[in-house]
Chains A and B, each alone.
Chain A
Amino acid sequence: AQRVTQPEKLLSVFKGAPVELKCNYSYSGSPELFWYVQYSRQRLQLLLRHISRESIKGFTADLNKGETSFHLKKPFAQEEDSAMYYCALYAPMDSNYQLIWGAGTKLIIKP
């Protein structure tokens, strides 16, 4: 069955250090993957999607089909990156496509 796994519930790094939030997926088809972010007291919003191949707020994510991963990376963390991050897979469930969400990783950037 389709599934998204974010193995870390909490990730804490110092400002300026590299950040990697892990996401693994289980899906036999061609995946379409997303990262959403929720800053404190703000709405859940799209951060980036793999088909766009863009960098948003310094974050990038590369789809690795061999490892079935879509890890989110940033070379130098900033305090404003502290947030909840969700990985999501767009895949068929029953007869319709929908987003399948990971459990989320809370990222804390220490000053």
Chain B
Amino acid sequence: EADIYQTPRYLVIGTGKKITLECSQTMGHDKMYWYQQDPGMELHLIHYSYGVNSTEKGDLSSESTVSRIRTEHFPLTLESARPSHTSQYLCASSEQKRQGAGETQYFGPGTRLLVL
């Protein structure tokens, strides 16, 4: 079944640890995104990708990095977690359409991260 998967769903970790948030999609989409969202607040785009070997930073400055080695996989890595990274992280994907034509984004269930 076409879907977007995120693991782990919840993560509690100590300061300074390296973490990787996983995101995979079986939607067949080229474009993938990572958003950061604090409870009840707007979504902030932190990274996006238009396809394999394509990654871009979003409008929110982030100390995280991403990679896109396979179309379906878009992991996000924090080299050294800090309490300020505590948030919810949402992964999304969409079809590639012509430039300027908005595509529907499909979201994963999210990862709630707590850094102590």
Contact = CB atoms under 8 A, between A and B. Distances in A.
Contact of B41 (A97, A98, A99, A103): A103
Interface residues of A, number: 22
A97 B56 CA distance: 12
Nearest to A97: B100
Given A43-B108, A44-B90, A101 B56 contact: no
Contact of B102 (A43, A45, A97, A102): A97
Interface residues of B, number: 23
Contacts of A101: 42-44
Given A34-B102, A43-B107, A44-B107, A98 B48 contact: yes
Contacts of A64: none
Contacts, number: 48
A97 B58 CA distance: 11
A29 B2 CA distance: 34
Interface of A is mostly: strand
Interface centre among B40, B106, B110 (most CB of A within 10 A): B40
B61 interface: no
Q: Which 6 A-B pairs have the closest CB atoms?
A: A90-B102, A32-B102, A103-B42, A44-B107, A101-B43, A101-B42
Interface centre among A44, A93, A97, A104 (most CB of B within 10 A): A44
Interface in A80-111: 84, 86, 90, 92-93, 96-99, 101-104, 106
